[in-house]
Structure 1
Amino acid sequence: MIRLTAALALTLVLALPTIAQEVVLVRHAEKSTEADPGLTPAGQARAQSLADLLRATAPTMILTSHARRTRDTAAPTAAALGVTPEVVPIPPGDIPTHVKQLAEKLGTLKPGQVALVVGHSNTVTPLIAAMGGPTLPNLPECAFSRLYRWNVAEKSLRIERYGVENDCPLIE
C-alpha cells in the first residue's frame, strides 16, 4: 500500500504542468536631463504603474544597471514586493558584457519564478536575444511604455504596453 501511495503521489507530481520562469523586461521610465538623471514626474508615474501591474506577477528577482533612472524605475515594484534589487553595473563601453552578466543571473531562475529587468534602450532587446529570443532592434529613444514578457520554457515573447501610452510606435 505504501508503494502504491508513493507511486500515485509521484504520478500526480509529474502530471502537474510545469510553471515556466518568466522574465519581464522594460526600459527605464522617462528621465530628466541632468547627469545620471532621475525620473521626471511622468517617469515616476510610469514606475508606479509598473509596480501596480507586477503586483500579481510578483517578481522574486529584480535586476537594474547602476544608473539612477533604472534603480528609480524599479524602486516602487521592489518596495511593494519586499524584493531588494540587484545592481548589475555596465562596464564602461561594454554593453555585451553587461548583457551576458544579466543573462547568467537570469539563468538561475527556478520554475515558477519571475524576474524583472529594468534596462536601457540598448540593453533590453540584446538581452532578449541572449536568452534565446528573437533579434530585435534597439529601442527608440521615445520608447518608455513597452513591456516584454519572455517565457523561458516556451521561448516565447509577448510585447505589451504599460502606463500612459506615448506616441512611440510599438514596432518600428
Structure 2
Amino acid sequence: MSLVTLLLAALAATATPSADVYVMRHLNTPPGQRDPDLLPEGRRTAEALARQFQGSPPVAIFVTDYRRTRQTVAPLAARLGLTPMVYDPRDVAGLVERVRAVGGPVLIVGHSNTVGGLIAALGGASPGELGESEFGDIWHIAADGTTTRLRIGD
C-alpha cells in the first residue's frame, strides 16, 4: 500500500463519525432564485420527511442559512423539538467537527453542489454533484462509512 493510500485511509477514518449521519439536499424549489421558499411539492415532501426517522431520529439538525434548507427540516424539527443549527457550507471541516461532537444521529441539509463533498468528508461514498432537479434523496452514512441512498417516504 502506498503512503498516499495510507494517508487517505487515515484521513477517512478520522472523518468518519461515531454515529449515523444523514445528508440530503434541500427540497423542491423554483430554479434560478437565490433564496426561494419551497414549492408546494417541497412542502409536502418536508411533511413526509418529518415521518422519516421513526426508529432512530436525529438528535441534531444542521442547515445552511437559507430559507429552503430551514423549510425542508421545519416539520421534522418541530416534531422532535429541535432547533436546527446553521453551518457555513464553506467550512466543511468545522461542520464535521461539530457533527462528531454530537454523539448521536445527525441530519445535515445542503445543496446540489455541496452534498457530495459533505458525504465524502464524513467518510462516505460521494454521489458527486447533484443535478438541479434532484430532490428527495437522503444519504445515510453509518459509523463504518457504509453509505446508503434512501428516498423520503420509503
TM-score range, shorter chain: 0.7 to 0.9
Match of 1:103 in 2: 96
Match of 1:127 in 2: 118
Structure 1 position 163, deviation (Å): 4.1
* AA at the equivalent of 2:145: K
129 and 114 in structure 1: CA distance in 2 versus 1, 3 angstrom threshold: same
Q: Which secondary structure state, in structure 2, belongs to the residue aligned with residue 133 of structure 1? A: coil
TM-score, scaled relative to structure 2: 0.81
Take 2:137 and 2:110, find their aligned partners in 1: how far apart are those partners?
A: 12
* Counterpart contact for 2:63–2:110, Cα < 8 Å: yes
Match of 2:106 in 1: 115
* AA at the equivalent of 1:161: R
Match of 1:78 in 2: 77
* AA at the equivalent of 1:101: G
Q: Which secondary structure state, in structure 2, belongs to the residue aligned with residue 108 of structure 1? A: helix
Greater Rg, structure 1 or structure 2?
A: 1
- Please give the per-residue CA displacement for 1:11-64, whole angstroms capped at 9, x wherever unaligned: xxxxxxxxx610011100001355410101100011111111124322101000
Root mean square deviation of aligned Cα? 1.7
Runs ≥4 in structure 1, deviation > 6 angstroms?
none
Take 1:23 and 1:144, find their aligned partners in 2: how far apart are those partners?
A: 18
Matches within 5 A, 1:2-21: 21=19
* Counterpart contact for 1:22–1:150, Cα < 8 Å: yes
- Percent sequence identity over matched residues? 36
* Counterpart contact for 1:55–1:80, Cα < 8 Å: no
Tell me the matched-pair count: 136
TM-score, scaled relative to structure 1: 0.73
Structure 1 position 109, deviation (Å): 2.8
Q: Which runs of 5+ in 2 are unaligned?
A: 1-17
Q: Which runs of 5+ in 1 are unaligned?
A: 1-19, 91-96, 165-172
Q: Which secondary structure state, in structure 2, belongs to the residue aligned with residue 159 of structure 1? A: strand
Correspondence for 2:133 among 142, 157, 166 = 142
- Please give the per-residue CA displacement for 1:109-140, whole angstroms capped at 9, x wherever unaligned: 32xx1101111011111011111222431111
Correspondence for 2:30 among 25, 29, 32 = 32
* Counterpart contact for 1:99–1:123, Cα < 8 Å: no
* Counterpart contact for 2:125–2:146, Cα < 8 Å: no
Take 1:41 and 1:55, find their aligned partners in 2: how far apart are those partners?
A: 24
Higher relative contact order (CA 8 A, sep 6+): 2
